[in-house]
Amino acid sequence: MGVLNDESQVYIVHYTNDRKKMIEPLHGTQIWLKAMVDSGTGRLSWSLDDKKYQQLPDTISFKRQWFENHKISLFSYNIKEPAGAVSFECFKYKFTPGIPGNL
């Protein structure tokens, strides 16, 4: 889940099985992304005001296996040229020990 700038519009997007799903146009300069994981199953959500979050319908498996499973990260990726920038103001990670399946 993230933000895509296609030169004409900025969109909130979600990728499932290498297929891009446009969620909606982003009409602002900030977005909050959230991943909640419980017993190895994750749900992604997003907000434009950090108060009202909209959850994506798909779940993601975060089960502990080997190196190939999903990871939570922030990055900037440009497929057209080696340029571009992104600014992250905050990255929070909350771990609650003792919960089975907690990352």
* 89 in any annotated domain: no
* 14 in any annotated domain: yes
pLDDT at 97: 66
Is 25 a residue whose pLDDT tops 60? yes
* 22 in any annotated domain: yes
User: Which residue has tokens 């994506």?
Assistant: 56
Q: Which domain holds residue 47?
A: 2-61
pLDDT at 6: 79
Work out the number of other CB atoms within 10 angstroms of the CB of residue 15.
11
Q: What is the mean pLDDT of the chain?
A: 77
Amino acid identity, residue 49?
A: D
pLDDT at 103: 47
* 77 in any annotated domain: no
Q: Is 46 exposed, middle or buried (0-12, 13-18, 19+ CB in 10 A)?
A: buried
* 38 in any annotated domain: yes
* 95 in any annotated domain: no
pLDDT tens-digit readout, 28-38: 888 888 888 77
Give the sheet arrangement for strand 54-61, strand by strand. Answer: 32-38, 41-47, 54-61
Question: Total domain count for the chain?
Answer: 1
* 18 in any annotated domain: yes
* 71 in any annotated domain: no
pLDDT tens-digit readout, 86-97: 788 887 777 666
Q: Please give the residue that has the higher pLDDT: either 102 or 55.
A: 55
Pairwise CA distance, residues 34 & 52, whole Å: 11
